[in-house]
Amino acid sequence: MQRIRAKSTSWEIYSGLCARAPLVVRADGRGFKKVLEESIKPYDIDFARSMASAVERFFLDFGPTPALAFTFSDEISLVFLDAPFAGRVEKIDSLVAGFLSAALSLELRRLVSMDCRTIPLCKEEICSYLVERQNETWRNHVFSYGFYMLREEGLNEAQAMEKLRGLREREIHELVFQKGINLAKTPAWERRGVMVYRNVGHVAVDWDIPLFSTKEGNAILAEIIGSARTG
């Protein structure tokens, strides 16, 4: 999957590290807890819109275009079917993190930074990867609401974290439900994340995506990945 190009004369010992496509580049916000601390709600639609806009900008202005992107919370996964920068990992990680950090800083009107990692996959693994990130989206959703409710009850951050660690998912579900929120009925983007992709010449941002693990979700992914290949 990966190879090291020998560069005996160079001090840049990682510059020859390459990854083969398909690959996912996943960016994650650094210290975003602080960025979001002004927001008291478990979800902030303005922040989510800024994340989606930064991804949209990526499709429009970065250059190498991913087939699709998936974002939730402070993370972004970009699925590339062709390796950008000939698969050079240092180039990919630094330029993608640099672009997304800049785009998001402009959106938020404050300086933020994102880190990045390159994940080589087989084409057959793309769907499983996205299912995994969407499962994480759901866990994050349950946890965020649970945390918010406990903070509302007067627990401090450490106490709320401690209590949540001892609870099962359905117990957090119940706790939140008692406060009048049904976690199965929150906005789809909170539960399932947001997808960005190219659609007939423009960039589409979908805030109401199905579960990637369902037949419908699978079919949508197959269509986007299939048309990105031929387009």
Phi, psi angle pair for 6, to nearest 5°: -65, 130
Residues 63-122 within binding reach of Mg ion (CB under 5 A) = 74
Which one, 32 or 197, has the nearer CB to Mg ion? 32
- Closer residue to Mg ion, CB minimum distance, 153 or 157: 157
Number of residues that bind Mg ion (CB under 5 A): 3
Q: Which stretch binds Mg ion (CB under 5 A): 25-33, 92-100, 117-125, 131-139?
A: 25-33
Distance CA 10, CA 131 (A): 40
Least spacing, CB of residue 202 vs Mg ion, in Å: 30
CA distance 83 to 140: 30
CB of 73 to Mg ion, least distance (A): 7
Residue with Cβ nearer Mg ion (74 or 206)? 74
Residue with smaller CB distance to Mg ion, 28 or 44: 28
| Interaction of residue 29 with Mg ion, rule CB under 5 A | yes
> Whole-number minimum distance, CB 76 to Mg ion, in Å?
11
> Shortest gap between Cβ of 69 and Mg ion (angstroms)?
17
Q: Which of 21, 28, 64, 143 binds Mg ion (CB under 5 A)?
A: 28
- Give the contacts of 64 (CB within 8 A, at least 6 positions apart): 80, 82, 84, 85
* Stretch of residues binding Mg ion (CB under 5 A), selected from 11-19, 22-30, 47-55, 108-116: 22-30
Please, which residue, 28 or 90, has the CB nearer to Mg ion?
A: 28
Contact residues toward Mg ion (CB under 5 A) are 28-29, 74
